[in-house]
Amino acid sequence: MLSTGRLIYGVAADDSHRESHQGKAWIMVYSSSNNKDTLIKAIRIGDFYCSTGIILDSIFYSSNRIYLKNQNGNTIKFICKDGNTLSTVSSNEVSYTIIGTENYVRAEISNLSG
């Protein structure tokens, strides 16, 4: 709450691991419309992701599988907690089956411009 009494909704991205990536990320919010109430609801429930220009079409997951589809990426890496690459696929659509020993899995999507 600011001193003016206005409530501010915000999110932050902490995925800037290389100096060259700083200042290039922004937050993408999953929302069914640009309606203010719909956007605020999406932010409140944490329905967002950070991006450096890759446009995600779909992110789905189940207890042991992650599925991603994007519009403008051509390489998808799945990376575990220690930073090691688990899998690299040259595609804009991929799934990864979790084997259970990863502890953490993230997807890094890139395109020809890096």
- Provide the 3-class DSSP secondary structure of residue 56: strand
User: What global pTM score does this model have?
Assistant: 0.58
Q: What is the pLDDT of residues 6-42, one digit of tens each?
A: 655 555 555 555 666 555 556 677 777 778 888 888 8
Q: What angle do CA 91, 97, 103 make, to 5 degrees?
A: 115
Q: In order of start, what are the domains of the chain with their CATH numbers?
A: 1-52 (no CATH), 54-114 (2.60.40)
Average pLDDT of the residues in 82-103: 91
Listing from the earlier edge strand, what are the strands of the sheet with 75-80? 85-89, 75-80, 105-110
pLDDT of residue 95: 93
Q: Which two structure tokens, joined as six digits, stand for 66?
A: 């992650």
Band of pLDDT at residue 1, cut at 50, 70 and 90: very low
pLDDT of residue 101: 86
